[in-house]
């Protein structure tokens, strides 16, 4: 597998240097692996900190900026960052109004953010946490690590970020973030595995003519393998899986998310099919976002995320945002 890298060991640091060079609105601490919006801390406002393994770009570093995250902590590829990074980020962005940690539900992220929250509180920083767990492909039971955090992370970071930007207090920003997560569900499919720089070969073997249903964003295989389906058939399967769990949901935000290697041409075609299924099911779509936002390195495939919204959430979604990965109204 050919990759546009120097050596596997410096992939994350190299990308951070490149982000620093591209985005003057960000302060990038390459050595300590923290990305902070340049004007932080913003007086009187709650700060949002997220983070996770690298390999999901633009998530999370690409969502740092006014109207979204205050800081992000990138870990090694597909590996949660360490508590030291999160503590450093929290200290850099806290204005005294408190910090909300946005945590995707993976064992590593949860454990490291928990430790960081304890350390931050020891330093007098008020911390709240919201867990994102929107992936319906995983049964939420005692027999799993619980549902994974995937596409809904973008909705949570954008909408809670807008609430923080308006000057809402920590408890309110936290409850909005929780509402967005509870109102969101996702389902993903893979048309190819992905290749981590460290391993250099695909994380699983997917023969031609087959696809994986119910994948996450770490190159892990999904729940089920089937013969290749058309875009329309995949849309039927994915939307039905989401709606089965979300129930009647009007209106919704829709994220048609590419996993990294699927071209926009295909994603837009897929989006048309997703809209067809939603119309058939009587679900009104308030806003649609199509593109590669919560990716899994070079995996081909897509995920569908729906978020049931009210007027308040829609207003916060439409609010201005100015980050490398998401930008409107500015």
Partner 1 sequence: MLDADFFRRWMAATAASVDREAERLTALDSPIGDADHGSNLQRGFTAVRATLEKDAADTPGAILVLAGRQLISTVGGASGPLYGTLLRRTGKALGDAPEVTEEQLAEALRAGVEGVMTLGGAAPGDKTMVDALVPAVDALRDGFAAARTAAEQGAEATTPLQARKGRASYLGERSIGHQDPGATSSALLIAGLAEAAEA
Residues that bind partner 1 (CB under 8 A): 53, 75-84, 106-108, 111-112, 115, 137-139, 142-145, 148, 196, 198-199, 203-204, 216, 218-221, 223
Nearest CA among 271, 69, 78 for reference residue 60: 69
**CA dist 12 → 61, 104, 246, 299 (Å):** 12, 20, 36, 18
| C-alpha R_g of the chain | 19
Per the annotation, the verdict on 275 as an active-site residue is no
Out of 23, 56, 60, 275, pick the active-site residue. 56
Q: At what angle do helices 83-93 and 107-122 cross, to 10 degrees?
A: 50
Q: Which is nearer to partner 1, 114 or 318 (CB)?
A: 114
Give 74's strand partners.
52
- CB of 11 vs partner 1, minimal distance in Å: 12
- CB of 170 vs partner 1, minimal distance in Å: 25
- CB of 115 vs partner 1, minimal distance in Å: 6
Calpha distance 269→1 (Å, rounded): 28
Only one residue has tokens 């931050």, namely 120
Q: Which is nearer to partner 1, 170 or 204 (CB)?
A: 204
- CB of 134 vs partner 1, minimal distance in Å: 14
Q: Which is nearer to partner 1, 205 or 311 (CB)?
A: 205
What is the edge-to-edge ordering of all strands in the sheet holding 301-308?
Answer: 224-227, 210-213, 184-190, 301-308, 252-258, 285-291
- CB of 135 vs partner 1, minimal distance in Å: 9
Per the annotation, the verdict on 56 as an active-site residue is yes
Q: Which is nearer to partner 1, 80 or 168 (CB)?
A: 80
Q: Which is nearer to partner 1, 225 or 275 (CB)?
A: 225
Do residues 1 and 195 lie in contact, with contact meaning Cβ atoms separated by under 8 Å? yes
Calpha distance 163→319 (Å, rounded): 9
Q: Report, as residue numbers or ranges, the catalytic residues.
A: 56, 218
């Amino acid at each position: 597998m050919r990759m546009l890298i120097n050596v596997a060991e410096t992939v994350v640091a190299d990308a951070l240097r490149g982000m620093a060079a591209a985005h003057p609105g960000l302060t990038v601490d390459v050595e300590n692996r923290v990305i902070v919006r340049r004007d932080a801390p913003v007086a009187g406002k709650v700060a949002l900190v997220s983070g996770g393994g690298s390999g999901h770009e633009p998530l999370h570093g690409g969502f740092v900026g006014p109207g979204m995250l205050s800081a992000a902590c990138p870990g090694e590829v597909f590996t949660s960052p360490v508590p030291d990074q999160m503590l450093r980020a929290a200290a850099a962005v806290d204005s005294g109004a408190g910090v909300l940690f946005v945590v995707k539900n993976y064992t590593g992220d949860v454990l490291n953010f928990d430790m960081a929250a304890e350390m931050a509180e020891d330093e007098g920083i008020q911390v709240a946490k919201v867990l994102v767990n929107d992936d319906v492909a995983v049964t939420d039971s005692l027999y799993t690590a619980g549902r994974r955090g995937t596409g809904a992370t973008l909705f949570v970071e954008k909408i809670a970020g807008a609430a923080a930007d308006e000057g809402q207090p920590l408890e309110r920003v936290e409850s909005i973030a929780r509402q967005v997560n509870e109102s969101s569900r996702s389902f993903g499919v893979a048309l190819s595995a992905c290749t981590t720089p460290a391993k250099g070969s695909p994380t699983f073997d997917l023969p031609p003519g087959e696809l994986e249903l119910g994948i996450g964003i770490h190159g892990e295989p999904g729940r089920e393998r089937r013969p290749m389906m058309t875009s329309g058939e995949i849309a039927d399967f994915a939307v039905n899986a989401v709606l089965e769990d979300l129930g009647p949901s009007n209106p919704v935000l829709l994220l048609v998310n590419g996993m990294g290697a699927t071209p926009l041409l295909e994603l837009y075609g897929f989006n048309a099919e997703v809209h067809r299924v939603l119309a058939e099911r009587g679900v009104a779509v308030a806003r649609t976002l199509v593109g590669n936002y919560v990716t899994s390195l070079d995996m081909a495939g897509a995920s569908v995320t729906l978020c049931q919204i009210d007027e308040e959430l829609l207003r916060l979604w439409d609010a201005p945002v100015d980050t490398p990965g998401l930008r409107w109204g500015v």
